[in-house]
Amino acid sequence: MITQKSTRHLGFLALAAGMAATRFGHCGTAWAPPDASWAVFFVAGFYLTCEWRWALPALLVEAVAIDFVAIHYYGVSDYCVTPAYWFILPAYSLLWLGGAWLNHHYQRVPGDLKRLAISLPLSVSGCFLLTEGSFYWLGDRIVHASIAGWWSNFLSWYGYFMLVTCAYVGLVALGHIALTRRVAARAHLQMR
């Protein structure tokens, strides 16, 4: 018999596998999809809210471990690994909190989509501000840092990260809606 606990563990494994399969390149390639890490943290926050003590640290360790392996064994550029790299820990935690907030307010009504439309962009924006801002200002990669340069860099990448994260979360949301409708229909038939 499948229990709720085993379902959560399977969900965690699926999310961890999704991150492992996509994290080797931010923008993806012809053979690999774009990095799903941000969506993984948001979705994990929603589905694994109560398991944050082990699931959030496990996903954070996985993200760092994948980066280490990609750089040291697969020749992925280490350009983004600076002292600011560690800002991914609070940034990814913001994504988790966005998903957890959505879970806390989830009512299985159409209004949940409005709450998703609020929590996802806010948490992605917070994550992006932390990661991009820390990289630009603390990463020692920008020779002549300026507000105008930061703003230009911000605008260059913000839309991409928002779009990719929203696309992945949108796919999960569609699957969630389909599955919950099917379960509800099955329960209704059993009650007859």
* Contact call for residues 165 and 42 (beta carbons, < 8 A): yes
Its domain, for residue 84, covers: 33-191
Rounded Cα distance, 140 and 138, in Å: 6
**pLDDT digit string (tens) for 71-130?**
988 888 887 888 999 999 999 999 999 999 999 999 888 889 999 999 999 999 999 999
83 to 66, 67, 139, 152, 167: CA distances (angstroms) = 18, 14, 6, 22, 30
- 3-class secondary structure for 31-59? CCCCCCHHHHHHHHHHHCHHHHHHHHHHH
Q: How many CB atoms lie within 10 A of CB 122?
A: 14
In a domain, 46, yes or no: yes
**pLDDT digit string (tens) for 115-173?**
999 999 999 999 999 999 999 999 888 888 999 999 999 999 999 999 999 999 999 99
How many distinct structural domains can be found in the chain?
1
In a domain, 121, yes or no: yes
In a domain, 15, yes or no: no
In a domain, 17, yes or no: no
In a domain, 6, yes or no: no
Residue 27 is classified by DSSP as S
In a domain, 167, yes or no: yes
In a domain, 120, yes or no: yes
Rounded Cα distance, 106 and 110, in Å: 10
Tokens of 31: 């053979």
pTM above 0.75, yes or no: yes
Rounded Cα distance, 18 and 172, in Å: 12
In a domain, 23, yes or no: no
